[in-house]
Amino acid sequence: MTLPQTLLKLEQASRRRAGRPAVQGLSLVLERGQVLGLLGVNGAGKSTTLSMIAGALAPDGGHILLDGVDLAEHPALVRRLVGWLPERAPLWQELTVGEHLDAHGRLRGLNGAALKQARTRMVERLELGPLERRLAGVLSQGQRQRLGLACALLHQPALLVLDEPGNALDPVQVAALRGLIREQAAAGTAVILSTHVLAEVTAVCDRVAILHDGTLRYEGTLAGDDHAALERQFFAIATARAAA
């Protein structure tokens, strides 16, 4: 049986924060195996959008559908289908890296041999071996980011939601992250990521969406490695704000 291609659908999703619209009437579609880059200046609404997709913030208008099912009706779907790396991954300071992975796995319903296997896979893939017994509270920012990524990927989610995943990573780890994202997409995972690094989008994304003042201003495929075109598009939208 082949799975339907569309995994994520936003239909006019909106959310107000502190009494002001943070995201308004956002419609987007993401297919399995696609990587979508979400761009926008500070405060454009990227994190709010990703938090809604990850089920942490409920939209106050419109719908978010995962695999054709409205999240408002089946919020528990998120736990099974989505892996989320928030902008500031919350960690339990007093747990070790290994304990963290176990706790996250259990929250996602993994136990026994399946949990052990998933943990080993992530420790190897994100090179966390030397850190496994270290307390999360003493990790460097980049190490915390890698642990957050491991937690997001542990249960092999169908949709990976990454909020500025390259933050604090050194150049070697940035290259590894790009490899990881492409590997996930090749295996059929849909990936949506926000970033301020345009080169990140050119390097790993199939499509790009640019938000501004909470609304979608541009959405399209990336023509190969046409970085200059993306830059022009982004700055035309970003500087329109300065002129407004």
The angle formed by the CA atoms of residues 21, 194 and 204, to the nearest 5 degrees, is 150
For residue 43, state whether it binds ligand ATP (rule: CB under 6 A).
yes
Among residues 2 and 42, whose Cβ is nearest to ligand ATP? 42
Q: Give me the sign of the Cα torsion angle 136, 139, 141, 145.
A: negative
CB of 85 to ligand ATP, least distance (A): 13
Q: How far is the CB of 38 from ligand ATP (least distance, A)?
A: 8
Which of 47/202 has CB closer to ligand ATP? 47
Instruction: State yes or no: residue 169 binds ligand ATP (CB under 6 A).
Output: no
Closest CA to 57 of 105, 23, 108, 11: 23
Distance CA 202, CA 166 (A): 14
Which of 40, 55, 62, 165 contacts ligand ATP by CB under 6 A? Answer: 40
Under rule CB under 6 A, residue 83 binds ligand ATP: no
Member of 44, 89, 131, 160 binding ligand ATP (CB under 6 A) = 44
| Cα–Cα distance, 194 to 29 (Å, whole number) | 16
Asked if residue 71 lies in contact with residue 57, where contact means CB atoms within 8 angstroms, the answer is: no
Smallest distance from the beta carbon of 25 to ligand ATP, in angstroms?
Answer: 15
Note the residues at the interface with ligand ATP (CB under 6 A): 17-18, 22, 40, 42-48
